[in-house]
Structure 1
Amino acid sequence: MTTPASFAANNAPLPLLDTEVLRTFVTIAESGSFTRAARQVFRTPSALSMQIKRLEDTLGQTLFVRESRQVRLTPEGEVLLGYGRRLLKLNEEAVTQFLAPSLEGRVGFGTSDDVGTRILPNVLAQFARTHPAVQVDVVVGSSVNMLSRLDDGELDLVLVTAGNVGQPARGERVHSEPLVWVGRDGGLAAQRSPLPVALAHHGCAWRGMALDALDRAGIDYRIAYTCEHCAGQEAAMLADLAVAPFPQSLIKAPLRKLDRDTLPPLGDYQLELVKRGGGSQASEALLGYVFEAFRDMYG
């Protein structure tokens, strides 16, 4: 293991810390998990693990204590976290100082409350670093409302669920994944009759897919919970009040995917990115970041 003394003895310069590796280290430290950090930086947990191993070898110190469900910093890691944050901030200030922003203006971005909101923080953070002079205003709401505001000129880009009742295809498909039945692990809602279900508002594609599947299968059900956002469905499932149709990628403990033998398959659902005609260069640039985020995260 290398030490400062060994560099001094060999009259060798001290190594430089890579800013990307430092960014990975800070992200892991702040999220408490290699898996969560990997989602945030759009890389695999194994790739992050290799980066941290090289960083530990460079510094000659162990930076993380790895536990079953999380990681925590060692005392040396806590010291490096302070330095890492300052170095990343200084690097950002230097780049901003010498690279004049090529884009300016405002972009109105609308998204529905599902997978889109999970990628949005990192998309906006990366976009702000590259285009600091562009102001991005974000609105979260139903797909129908987002499209209406786009048509009224209030928004420039919207990320919406495809297939809503009365909503023709208007944009470019950016994501598709299975919609599955979900409930609380160990809960009783899935065993009740009639089956209690938590659904979104009328006209939502998820609602239509779920009700059609239940009707075709001849399953007796009751709508026990209705809400505008998927966070409301999640709350109903966590309370074991109902089961719900939910994107597979959003399932996290204590929720689980329910047995397909007892509930009918739902099929896939899609997200579309729709842009307003005559959009600015800034909105076109943000559109590219959204496409790249979905490609990196979901392949």
Structure 2
Amino acid sequence: MTQHLPLPNDTIALPLLDSDVLRTFVTIAECGSFTRAARQVFRTPSALSMQIKRLEETLGHPLFVREARQVRLTPEGEVLLGYGRRLLKLNEEAVTQFLAPKLEGRVAFGTTDDVGTRILPSVLAQFARSHPAVQVDVVVGSSRQMLSRLDSGELDLVLLTAGNPGQEPRGEIIHSEPLVWVGREGGIAAQRSPLPVALAHQGCAWRGMALDALGRAGVSYRIAYSCEHCAGQEAAMLADLAVAPFPVSLVRPPLRRLDPSLLPPLGEYQLALVKRGGMGQACEALAGHVMAAFRDLSPQQSRKETAC
């Protein structure tokens, strides 16, 4: 007679984590707030709170520490965040494998450095997972160069700085953020007279916005440094030799945003996506990935090497 041995305890079926609840958890963790996360997923904060409560009960651990105006992850929450992101990506890859259209072909994509180094890694990785048969050729250069190559048919899609001097408005504005004055934490460059400024090359919108603002306010200044890439501006600020106009999302220690009362406001800096007429489905798909990347863009995702 065959004897049936009892199953060990570790074979008991474990609960499955729901993808929708995981997406809620990851969104809250990245936003640092139930209210902000609720706006992103189009639900009420109370609905999100109930989802997290059930998730915490399932796992047997608290995942968030609730504070007055924000929430932060517990050690167990930090562990789950890593798993959650990986599970959501794997779910996306599995669904895409069966539901995404089988696109093939080639897309020539042009961008400026301030854009490319910020979003290109994630965009290209996600696009490769969704459409592995599409070849993407990337070209990096100035906004003027990219538009010229688009018009000549060399490029299909261009992401560039809007509002550069002499550049006609084209494409769709997909990102906007404040341009602010930045200097080194504890530095004295902002107190010098004339004000030493580090600017990007001529023809860059950042440079024009800064000079216009200083001129209107009657601030005495001198152009201490001018460079093709704003890594040069950053170097001048780190050495406390100058201040510079920077997108707010790129400011990180030891640099800091200067007191707004010290210097005139600069306004908003914008990015535009320009498509070549008659482009195919593969190009449209890549354009969708680019726009999605900027919807998800946060200051923590910014990169170091930038230029107009």
TM-score bucket of the superposed structures, by smaller chain: 0.7 to 0.9
2:231 is the counterpart of 1:228: no
Q: Distance in 2 between matches of 1:177 and 1:100?
A: 33
Structure 2 residue aligned with 1:130: 130
Q: Which runs of structure 2 are paired with 1:127-276 in the superposition (5 Å)?
A: 127-276=127-276
Count of aligned positions: 278
SS in 1 for 2:113: coil
Map 1:8-19 → 2, pairs under 5 A:
14-19=14-19
Residues 155 and 56 of structure 1, relative CA distance in 2, 3 Å threshold? farther
Alignment check: 8 A CA contact 1:21 1:52 kept: yes
Please, what is the CA RMSD of the aligned residues? 4.1
- 1:187 positional shift: 1.0
Structure 2 distance, partners of 1:172, 1:196, is 35
1:277 aligns with 2:285: no
Provide the rounded CA distance (Å) in 2 between the counterparts of 1:18 and 1:125. 25
Q: Do the aligned partners of residues 71 and 146 (structure 1) sit closer, same or farther apart at CA in structure 2, a change above 3 Å counting?
A: farther
The 3 A distance-change label for structure 1 pair 260 and 26 is: closer
Query: In the alignment, residue 191 of structure 2 is paired with which amino acid?
Result: Q
- Unaligned segments of structure 1, at least 5 residues: 1-7
Equivalence for 1:57:
57
User: Quick one: distance in 2 between partners of 1:91 and 1:249?
Assistant: 30
Q: Do the aligned partners of 1:115 and 1:250 also contact (CA within 8 Å) in 2?
A: no
Contact 2:184–2:256 (CA<8 Å) still a contact in 1?
Answer: yes
Residue 273 of structure 1 aligns to a residue whose secondary structure is: strand
Would you say the 8 A contact 1:179–1:269 is kept in 2?
yes
Describe the shift of the 1:150–1:52 C-alpha distance in structure 2 as closer, same or farther (beyond 3 A): farther
Mapped contact 1:200–1:206 kept (Cα < 8 A): yes
Measured after TM superposition, the shift of residue 197 of structure 1 is: 0.9
- 8 A contact 1:181–1:257 mirrored in 2: yes
Contact 2:183–2:256 (CA under 8 A) maintained in structure 1: yes
Change in CA separation of 1:191 and 1:100 when aligned onto 2, cut-off 3 Å: closer
Distance 1:209 1:92, change over 3 A: closer
Is the deviation greater in 162-171 or in 286-295?
286-295
| Paired amino acid for 1:262 | L
Structure 1 Cα separation of the partners of residues 261 and 60 of structure 2: 53
**Separation in 1 of the partners of 2:132 and 2:20?**
19
In the TM superposition, what is the alpha-carbon distance from 1:281 to its structure 2 partner? 1.1
Who is 1:112 aligned against? 112
In the alignment, structure 2 segments of 5+ residues that lack a partner are 1-8, 67-71, 299-308
- Post-superposition offset of 1:90: 6.0
Flag the 1:85–1:271 CA change in 2: closer, same or farther, 3 A: closer
Q: Percent identity?
A: 75
Question: How far apart are 1:73 and its partner, in Å?
Answer: 5.1
Q: Distance in 2 between matches of 1:240 and 1:221?
A: 15
Three-state SS of the structure 2 residue aligned to 1:240 is coil
TM-score normalized by structure 1?
0.73
Q: Matched residue of 2:266: which SS?
A: coil
Q: 1:270 deviation in Å?
A: 1.9
Q: Please state whether the residue corresponding to 2:174 is helix, strand or coil.
A: strand
TM-score (norm 2): 0.71
In structure 1, C-alpha distance between the alignment counterparts of 2:92 and 2:216, rounded to whole Å = 56
When residues 91 and 117 of structure 1 are mapped into structure 2, their CA distance, relative to the original with a 3 A threshold, is: same
Please tell me the residue identity of whatever aligns with 1:280.
G
Q: Give the conservation status (yes or no) of the 8 Å contact 1:23–1:88.
A: yes
C-alpha distance in 2, partners of 1:65/1:59?
16
